[in-house]
Amino acid sequence: MILMNRLQLLGLTVAATFLATASVHAEGDKATGRKLVYTCNGCHGVVGYENAYPQYPVPKIAGQNQQFIVNALHEYKSGERNHPTMTAQAQSLSDKDIDDIAAYLSSLAK
Amino acid sequence: MKRTLTLLSFGAVLAFASTQLLASGNVDAGKQKAAACFACHGTDGNGIDPQYPRLAGQYNMYLQQALHEYKSGQRTNAIMKGFVATLSEQDIEDVAAYFSSLPTKLDTLNGHIQGDKN
């Protein structure tokens, strides 16, 4: 009986930990994100700024959807998505940084 | 000097004209062709779920670039790969013209970084 209770307790603890991790992952910190996007501003903060070779405008990212930003930065980091500047930037970011940036950018939706 | 200026202005006019040509899609045609996109990106182009990007009001030429990257395989996404395979160059220009013309929630970072007022 005691063993059973311990197992149940263990199960609950594991479940709670998973839940906690999941919600932490989903919720980045906007204030920290705001500081982190300082670097992004060099290209993404200039209206109509163009990427060179090939030439196309650097996308608007303020107000972009949260999970999409998280995915995009992880794809750049892993090399699945390939852009020299973005790969270098993403590789300098921790998972927490990425969550924070996504939380801030998505909060800017007009 | 005068000749240089003339040449330069010719060059500028040509560059401008070609940019306009590249960006010339038809918004109404794009709306028809974008029907397949709505399932994920929403009829308003803002995405039905946060995993899908907002397209509404994104730069026309950036949307075209993204579609071309999916088409060439430079950018990989199983869902997008299937859709772009059916799109012609004209379709890409039209669809990009349509989504870029929609009311937007997107912005550049201009005015949104630490130290800015808002």
Q: Over the stretch B2-50, which tens digit does the pLDDT of each residue have? A: 676 666 666 665 555 555 455 689 999 999 999 999 999 999 999 999 9
Residue A22 lies in a domain: no
Q: Which domain holds residue A70?
A: 28-107
User: Domain tally for chain A?
Assistant: 1
Q: How far apart are CA B55 and CA B83, in angstroms?
A: 15
Task: Identify the residue among A29, A61, A71, A101 best suited for mutation to test binding to B, counting B beta carbons within 10 A and taking the highest.
Answer: A61
Residue of A nearest to B41 (CA): A65
Does the beta carbon of B77 lie under 8 angstroms from any beta carbon of chain A?
no
- Residue A59's nearest CA partner among B88, B37, B100 is B100
What would the pLDDT profile of A26-46 be if each residue is shown by its tens digit? 589 999 999 999 999 999 999
CB-nearest partner of B112 from A49, A62, A66: A62
Say what the pTM is. Answer: 0.79
Residue A15 lies in a domain: no
DSSP type of residue A81: S
CATH number for the domain spanning A88: value is 1.10.760.10
Residue A47 lies in a domain: yes
- Residue B97's nearest CA partner among B57, B38, B47, B50 is B57
Q: Which residue type is seen at B94?
A: D
For each of the domains in chain B, give its residue range(s) and CATH number, in order of start. 25-101 (1.10.760.10)
Inter-residue contact A105 to A61 (CB < 8 Å): yes
Query: Across the interface, do A60 and B59 touch by the CB < 8 Å criterion?
Result: yes
Does the beta carbon of B64 lie under 8 angstroms from any beta carbon of chain A?
yes
Query: Across the interface, do A80 and B105 touch by the CB < 8 Å criterion?
Result: no
Does the beta carbon of B58 lie under 8 angstroms from any beta carbon of chain A?
yes
CA distances from A84 to A47, A51, A52, A87, B28 (A): 21, 11, 12, 5, 36
CA Rg value for chain A: 19
Q: Which residue type is seen at A71?
A: N
Residue A48 lies in a domain: yes
Residue A99 lies in a domain: yes
Let me know if A36 is exposed, middle or buried by CB neighbors in 10 A (0-12, 13-18, 19+). buried
DSSP type of residue B109: S
